[in-house]
Chains A and B, each alone.
Chain A
Amino acid sequence: MTAVHARTLVELAASLRAKELSSVELTRLLLARIEAAQPTLNAFISVTAERALAQAAEADRALGSGRAGPLTGLPIIHKDIFCTDGVRTSCGSRMLDNFVAPYSATVVAKLEAAGMVMLGKANMDEFAMGSSNETSWYGPVRNPWDTRLVPGGSSGGSAAAVAARLGPVATATDTGGSIRQPAALCGVTGIKPTYGRVSRYGMIAFASSLDQGGVIAVSAADAALVLRAMAGFDPRDSTSVDRPVPDYVAALEHPQVAGLTIGLLEEFFDKGLDPENAQRVQEALAIYERLGAKIRKVSLPNIRLSVPAYYVVAPAECSSNLARYDGVRFGYRCEKPRDLSDLYCRSRGEGFGAEVKRRIMTGTYVLSAGYYDAYYLKAQKVRQLIAGDFERAFKEVDVIMGPTTPTPAFELGAKTADPVTMYLNDIYTIGANLAGLPALSIPCGFAGGLPVGLQIIGPHFAEERLLAAAHAYQRETDWHRRIPQGYE
């Protein structure tokens, strides 16, 4: 029998219903694993043990009296970007180190109402700006497959925690790849839904036209279970889409791969792609072919401009969003300000870390008088071209597949010297954000002992199709069930 911590969310749900295990027992077991792993992985910013045990006890009462829903009593970790009522919500920043959220994000509230147990808040790159989890004020997260390596970012804590089985599932957010890239580097499953599918209310803003909440889990079936409860229209988020949420779990019952047309994205198999990563992705495609899918080459001629377009749009929106941190109403305030200007400048200068300041500076520049047309407007036009490329491709294929990242996980410090080198890590993921498309990453093998991710991108609102395709693959393979040494 599979050890409790190694079970998927779907299996844990069955264990709870069969009364083979109580939610309190499960919660205690995971809290002990978190405590043991924290000095090595640093995957958490806060552990909410007391609250978790209280929620678990309540869940056990519900399970005992037949009032339980499909998620009742199942543990979850929230990325520290989601506001949690009464719990410190730091966003990985010194700026919010003392911020106790006075309300919960819609995502958190929905999952709490569904009976899920919050284990704690996951570490992350500061304000979700980073691809290695090295920009966190709370120190880097380490990759459980090899602790000399980064877990990816910005949702590095969420991915590392699920990979090390410190919790079965975690919330995460993706602005340029922050769910898919760490999921790939840590060997777990991560889905970024369509822009507007999940409410952004109470999710601390980075780049509002790109930010989207999602899930990191062990399997696509687990992700479907949680996404079904998270997604949906929220009157408190004017960008959330008023459209019914399909039953993502039901969509997995008979996943149809036969007849699926898969677009193989030529531009992603470029010179920057590690040959072993390329090989694993080709092997995954061969499995899809065996299951009856048709593979066709597709080309997105403007996709190579996605990283430059992103590094105009995202910093521009970040510089506006982060203007709210002024040391007046909440957050960090410098010591003994001389005057109001000194209060603003020093609170922001001391409260933000190096990468966040770099992006605020870039964003302020591209939006400043005389430069707006050359940078921001130009980037939004290029963004339209990229979205058009995808739209044309999806007239010919049902999904697009390719690698999630150019290489497996890299060493801490390897890419911190040059920001552009770090930015290029998201070269395969950013396109989906610019076009608002849903995309997921699933483990598809190993390169030099490190996990490799297969990325699947779909048209707007095709989450069911993506999850079903991922689930079909996971029924044929067991890469997603592999656990790093020391955490088995």
Chain B
Amino acid sequence: MEREQIAAIAHLARLGLGESELSAYQESLTRILAFVGELDRADTTGVTPMAHPLAGLSQPLRADEVTERDERDRYQANAPCVEAGLYLVPKVIE
């Protein structure tokens, strides 16, 4: 793995990483990818990728009904920053 690749992945994952962290992940991701590279040795010609651990089960759908109560105040009690029932973030549009 190249340094720029590591920085690009961190950006995609929205992880702010310091210089030393980038170096550490460069090393460990290289190691992990070499390890999982063993999968190439398996012959998977004609194998269907697993979609669900229990074959033949369909995902049930519930009735399209309102089941949740409005508990905005309770949920917003966990928010880092709210005002007038709205979640606040830094200004997005100048």
B36 lies within 8 A of A327 (CB)? no
Interface string of B48-60 (1 = CB under 8 A from A): 1111111001011
The yes or no answer to A479 lying at the interface (CB within 8 A) is no
* A319, B29: Cα distance in complex, Å: 14
B53 lies within 8 A of A387 (CB)? yes
List of B residues within 8 angstroms of A377 by Cβ: 49
B42 lies within 8 A of A305 (CB)? yes
The yes or no answer to A383 lying at the interface (CB within 8 A) is yes
From 382 to 440 in chain A, residues with beta carbon under 8 angstroms from any chain B beta carbon are: 382-385, 387, 418-420, 423, 434-436
Size bin of chain A's contact surface:
35 or more
Residue of chain B at shortest CB distance from A349: B16
Given contacts A102-B74, A209-B52, A348-B15, contact A238 B59 (CB under 8 A): yes
* A338, B24: Cα distance in complex, Å: 26
B50 lies within 8 A of A387 (CB)? yes
* A330, B41: Cα distance in complex, Å: 43
Choose from A332, A337, A358 the contact partner of B28 (Cβ within 8 Å). A358
* A382, B51: Cα distance in complex, Å: 12
Main secondary structure of the interface of A (DSSP, over half): helix
A378 lies within 8 A of B40 (CB)? yes
List of B residues within 8 angstroms of A378 by Cβ: 39-40, 42, 44
Given contacts A102-B71, A196-B54, A380-B50, contact A305 B31 (CB under 8 A): no
The yes or no answer to A259 lying at the interface (CB within 8 A) is no
Choose from A302, A333, A419 the contact partner of B32 (Cβ within 8 Å). A419
Interface string of A295-332 (1 = CB under 8 A from B): 00000001001011101100000010000001111111
The yes or no answer to B38 lying at the interface (CB within 8 A) is yes
List of A residues within 8 angstroms of B13 by Cβ: 319, 348, 360-361, 364
A308 lies within 8 A of B14 (CB)? no
Residue of chain B at shortest CB distance from A376: B49
Besides A305-B39, A319-B13, 19 other CB < 8 A contacts? A99-B78, A100-B78, A102-B78, A242-B60, A327-B80, A330-B78, A333-B81, A346-B16, A349-B17, A357-B21, A358-B32, A360-B15, A361-B13, A375-B36, A378-B40, A381-B48, A382-B42, A385-B47, A387-B53
* B residues in contact (CB < 8 Å) with A: 5-6, 9-10, 12-18, 21, 24-25, 28-29, 31-33, 35-42, 44, 47-54, 57, 59-62, 71, 74-75, 77-81, 87, 89-92
* A residues in contact (CB < 8 Å) with B: 98-100, 102, 194-196, 209-210, 235, 238-239, 241-242, 302, 305, 307-309, 311-312, 319, 326-333, 337-346, 348-350, 352, 354, 357-358, 360-362, 364-366, 368, 375, 377-385, 387, 418-420, 423, 434-436, 460
